[in-house]
Amino acid sequence: MKKDKLHIHWYPGHIAKAERQLKEQLSLVDVVIEVRDARLPLSSSYTNIKKLLGEKPRLLLLNKADLTEKNELKKWVEYLKISTGCPVFVTDAKGTKDLSFVIKNAVELSELKIQALMAKGLLRRAARAMVVGMPNVGKSSIINKLTKSSKTKIGAKAGVTRQQQWVRINPNLELLDTPGIIPTRQDNQIQAVKLAFVSSVSENAYSPEPVATALLEMLEKYPQVKEYYGVDFLSLDAVALSRNWVKKGGEADTERTAVYILKDFREGRLGLFILDELPQ
């Protein structure tokens, strides 16, 4: 497969399978904790997430907040609260802050459903929650944090054929310990390229040079990036030559440069960015 153009390849068959799997998992829970990458508050979600979740209550976490600019992220939180109607929080799953507020909110959001079950004559039971999100947004890190102080595995539920492991977080909440993966549909190429910036699409689906070039175009307006690389304008050649990432004969090694630039961005060395446009 030729991948030197700016194009992210996607596989409808894999996506259909992942969607089926996600729907199966969703059928088991009362409340959904959706994790997005705070650097892409819109692009790291499904446009039709509401359709996928149906009436299930949802809590939204903008994770990797440590890689974004705080004041800008606050505006996104306000915007998303209004546009989704969900509680929205920022998280840093690598940081030390505990996530008990996530547990509290998940329990509160499930209460209506639990009350409805009790109205039908059933005994009160713990609410069931799961974490969903695109690849690499930090779902497993969030699950680890939520379950850190309570490692009570309670096994697969009766009637559930697949191996789904649950963890009792407290008497009011059980969490599915495997995340639901929202497949990154890449029919929207602009969104797909942004997802490649943050490693939410597999490296096999694109070649680094055009993706790093697209990233540099987006970062052109930030002087600190030019300063970081010691260049007057951002291009693979300019950065390669400035950093001496050259091949034999002195020609710019653009492939190596592209890989390094993507790594620098992903690890926050180029600064703190949100790469979606906040809608007015």
Interacting residue ranges for ligand G4P, rule: CB under 6 A: 63-64, 66-67, 92-94, 133, 135-141, 179
Q: Kindly tell me which of 56 and 64 has the beta carbon lying closer to ligand G4P.
A: 64
Residues 6+ apart with CB under 8 A from 17: none
Q: Kindly tell me which of 179 and 183 has the beta carbon lying closer to ligand G4P.
A: 179
**Cα-based distances in Å from 153 to 105, 134, 148, 247:** 22, 25, 12, 53
Q: Least distance to ligand G4P from the beta carbon of 50, Å?
A: 21
Q: Least distance to ligand G4P from the beta carbon of 38, Å?
A: 8
Token digits of residue 269: 């060395």
Burial string for 72-108 (b: 16+ CB within 10 Å, else e) reads ebeebbebbeeeeebbbbbbbbeeeeebeebbebbbe
Burial string for 191-221 (b: 16+ CB within 10 Å, else e) reads bbbbbbbbbbbbeebbbbbbbbbbbbebbee
Distance CA 37, CA 268 (A): 13
Return the residue nearest ligand G4P (CB atom).
138
Q: Kindly tell me which of 63 and 191 has the beta carbon lying closer to ligand G4P.
A: 63
Distance CA 161, CA 5 (A): 44
Q: Least distance to ligand G4P from the beta carbon of 118, Å?
A: 34
Q: Kindly tell me which of 57 and 133 has the beta carbon lying closer to ligand G4P.
A: 133
Q: Kindly tell me which of 64 and 226 has the beta carbon lying closer to ligand G4P.
A: 64
Q: Least distance to ligand G4P from the beta carbon of 5, Å?
A: 27
Token digits of residue 240: 């390669």
Q: Least distance to ligand G4P from the beta carbon of 35, Å?
A: 7
Amino acid at 45: S
Q: Least distance to ligand G4P from the beta carbon of 182, Å?
A: 10
- Listed in sequence order, the DSSP H helices in 27-125 are 49-53, 70-84, 100-119
Q: Kindly tell me which of 43 and 172 has the beta carbon lying closer to ligand G4P.
A: 43
Q: Kindly tell me which of 128 and 145 has the beta carbon lying closer to ligand G4P.
A: 145
Strands 127-133 and 173-176, by their bridges, are parallel
Q: Least distance to ligand G4P from the beta carbon of 266, Å?
A: 8
| Interhelix angle 139-147/100-119, nearest 10 degrees | 80
Distance CA 181, CA 19 (A): 8
Q: Kindly tell me which of 65 and 114 has the beta carbon lying closer to ligand G4P.
A: 65
Helix (H) or strand (E) holding 190: helix 189-197
Q: Least distance to ligand G4P from the beta carbon of 92, Å?
A: 4
